[in-house]
């Protein structure tokens, strides 16, 4: 007889956001953050296309993301090797940069400066969506941007203390630097300073209250502290600012379920499924648990099958296969 899905045990077994994960070849898997900035000054806005290619000679396409409201994208679960990043979009000149990910690295960051294409009547890229960039971010002094770049370089080598020093210098030069506070929060997270991390995130939001990465990071902290209501507030605002942000939606699926909002959890899981969501197959597991509480077993079975299709090597995969077999009998 099959039993209720152990959702809380499942969450506990999942890697914490940003934590080291080992792949089957025993190589570390890396998260690569790409920050896009304008040569003329200021970080880029949302809606700019960033493509990741693996290998410099073969250049095999890996993934395509659109920049968020801070001009950034994250590529997760990348094995060591050489990569090429291509930034393109209406209103900017296509720019590429090569990145090497070494074995043992868990986080890398690359700042790519792009030039605005010549347009007679506008200095803003055409077709940019969800433009929530602040005037403060468009006026970052070059010295502050340089400190951010130096900090990002230290992050690539896991030198978190030195990275934090550079980010602190960046915000000392320009206190309205939301991206500087956000990167500082990442460094504090890796240094095991959650209160300093929270403080840096809150300062980023004081500058730009629609800064999606900061909203999502604060939501992660609230979930870890079992404060679902506060997490939901941050996530609702993040999804409102960037409706296609998969990380925010996926975390909201979990919060929906923990708050007993099964129908909302199912709806949010479907929103995630409708978007490119590599690495977020767990939303289907959560949706299955929500369907189970609603006693909708056929839909539960379908969600478990999607979970296995998308993440067949998940630590819980064997348990799920067993559950599927019992349900089918």
Of the chain, the end-to-end C-alpha distance in Å amounts to 10
The answer to the question of residue 47 being in a domain is yes
CA distance 155 to 271: 33
The answer to the question of residue 98 being in a domain is yes
Shared-domain flag, residues 57 and 104: yes
pLDDT at 206 over 80: yes
Question: Residue 43's closest CA among 136, 172, 126?
Answer: 136
What is the CATH number for 78?
2.60.40.10
The answer to the question of residue 218 being in a domain is no
Q: What is the pLDDT of residue 212?
A: 85
Segment 262-283 shows an average pLDDT of: 90
Q: What is the pLDDT of residue 14?
A: 35
- 68 vs 117 pLDDT, higher one: 68
Task: Confirm if 261 and 235 have CB atoms less than 8 A apart.
Answer: no
Helix (H, G, I), strand (E, B) or coil at 174: coil
Question: Residue 18's closest CA among 204, 162, 180, 155?
Answer: 155
pLDDT at 54 over 90: no
CA distance 113 to 115: 7
Specify the long-range contacts of residues 17-21, CB closer than 8 Å, at least 24 apart: 17/220, 18/106, 18/107, 18/186, 18/189, 18/190, 20/106, 21/77
Q: What is the pLDDT of residue 67?
A: 84
Q: What is the pLDDT of residue 22?
A: 33
CA distance 117 to 132: 21
The answer to the question of residue 260 being in a domain is no
What is the domain extent for residue 42?
27-119
pLDDT at 20 over 60: no
Please state which of the ranges 142-156, 211-225, 229-243, 258-272 shows the lowest mean pLDDT.
Answer: 142-156
Q: What is the pLDDT of residue 223?
A: 92
Question: Residue 113's closest CA among 134, 85, 135?
Answer: 85
Please state which of the ranges 154-158, 191-195, 209-213, 266-270 shows the lowest mean pLDDT.
Answer: 154-158
CA distance 254 to 284: 10
* Residue found under tokens 């971010």: 137
Please state which of the ranges 18-32, 168-182, 273-287 shows the lowest mean pLDDT.
Answer: 18-32
Shared-domain flag, residues 112 and 147: no
- 327 vs 106 pLDDT, higher one: 327
Dihedral of CA atoms 95, 144, 76, 102 in degrees, nearest 10, equals 90
- The tally of domains found in the chain comes to 2
CA distance 6 to 14: 13
Give the chain's mean pLDDT: 80
pLDDT at 262 over 70: yes
Task: Confirm if 52 and 75 have CB atoms less than 8 A apart.
Answer: yes
Please give the structure tokens belonging to residue 297.
């077993």
Strand 81-88 relative to strand 60-66: parallel, antiparallel, unpaired?
Answer: unpaired
Q: What is the pLDDT of residue 327?
A: 87
């Amino acid at each position: 007889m099959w039993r209720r899905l152990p959702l809380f045990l499942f969450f506990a077994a999942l890697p914490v956001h940003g934590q080291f994960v080992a792949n089957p070849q025993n190589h570390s898997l890396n998260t690569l953050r790409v920050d896009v900035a304008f040569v003329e000054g200021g970080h880029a806005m949302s809606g700019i296309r960033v493509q990741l290619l693996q290998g410099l000679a073969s250049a095999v396409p890996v993934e395509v993301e659109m920049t968020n409201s801070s001009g950034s994208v994250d590529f997760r679960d990348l094995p060591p090797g050489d990569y090429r990043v291509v930034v393109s979009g209406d209103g900017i000149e296509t720019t590429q940069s090569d990145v090497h990910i070494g074995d043992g690295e868990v986080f890398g960051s690359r700042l790519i400066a792009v030039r605005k294409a010549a347009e007679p009547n506008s200095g803003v890229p055409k077709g940019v969506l969800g433009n929530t960039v602040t005037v403060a971010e468009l006026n970052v002094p070059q010295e502050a941007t340089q400190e951010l770049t130096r900090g990002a370089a230290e992050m690539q080598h896991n030198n978190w203390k030195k990275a934090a020093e550079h980010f602190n210098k960046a915000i000392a030069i320009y206190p309205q630097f939301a991206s500087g506070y956000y990167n500082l929060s990442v460094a504090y997270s890796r240094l095991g300073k959650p209160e300093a991390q929270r403080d840096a995130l809150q300062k980023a939001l004081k500058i730009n209250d629609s800064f999606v990465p900061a909203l999502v990071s604060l939501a992660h902290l609230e979930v870890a502290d079992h404060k679902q209501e506060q997490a939901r507030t941050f996530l609702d605002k993040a999804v409102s600012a960037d409706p296609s942000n998969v990380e925010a939606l996926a975390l909201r699926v979990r919060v929906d379920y923990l708050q007993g909002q099964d129908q909302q959890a199912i709806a949010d899981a479907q929103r995630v499924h409708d978007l490119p969501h590599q690495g977020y197959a767990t939303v289907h597991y959560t949706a299955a648990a929500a369907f189970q509480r609603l006693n909708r077993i056929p839909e539960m079975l379908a969600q478990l099958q999607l979970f296995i299709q998308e993440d067949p090597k998940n630590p819980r995969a064997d348990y799920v296969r067993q559950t599927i077999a019992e349900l089918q009998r």
